[in-house]
Amino acid sequence: MIQMEAAELEEVQRAIQGDDSALAELLQRHYAFVYKYLVKVTMDPNVAEETVQDTMIRCMENIHRYDGSSAFSSWMITIATRIYIDKTRRRRREQIWLEAIRNQAVRKLRWQFESRNEEWTDVMDAMTRLTPEHRITVLLKHYYGYGYDEIGEMLGIPSGTAKSRTAYGLRQLRKELG
């Protein structure tokens, strides 16, 4: 267990007793440390920044719960880690929920096609599993016949990006269709 310096321990005590400047000083001092830790954990500076902000808020709200049994920085890292894990779980649940909604919409679309005696092919089924970015470029290029320059202009992206998205989408379709 890491022992805290006496000055930091005193500062923590003042923060617990309601000294806002002591709390601000503690959080400022440890901000970069927690942020750098979160960048390594998340591998995404934006997610790290969002999580460190949430961590600071949680520390302000719960400073009275800090018991001094570990270094203050360790306490903050524990909070940051738990926040990140909770966010990851929440995102996973949201993704599962969105996937269920998307699958329901695809089933409805397929039913609409078939009820009008229109063909729903294996290719259409495979297209539903592409990301919108890839599906759009594949459709514009191979279904509607636009060139990469036109697609890029329509989507506000470079023509090379349109070409690479199309190529990736086609690779995915080929993989799906065997």
Contact 140, 154 (CB under 8 A): yes
Structural domain spans, the chain: 6-92, 121-178
What's the alpha-carbon Rg for the chain, to the nearest Å? Answer: 26
Q: Which CATH number fits domain 6-92: 2.40.10.120, 1.10.1740.10, 1.10.240.10, 3.40.449.10?
A: 1.10.1740.10
Q: State the pLDDT at residue 30.
A: 96
CATH topology of domain 121-178: Arc Repressor Mutant, subunit A (1.10.10)
Q: State the pLDDT at residue 80.
A: 96
In order of 132, 158, 165, the CA distances from 147 in angstroms are 18, 12, 13
Q: What is the pLDDT along the chain (178 residues), one digit of tens a residue?
A: 344 577 788 888 999 999 999 999 999 999 999 999 999 999 999 999 999 999 999 999 999 999 888 889 999 999 999 999 999 999 888 888 888 887 787 777 777 777 777 665 677 777 888 888 898 999 899 888 999 999 999 999 999 999 999 999 999 988 987 7
Contact 159, 149 (CB under 8 A): yes
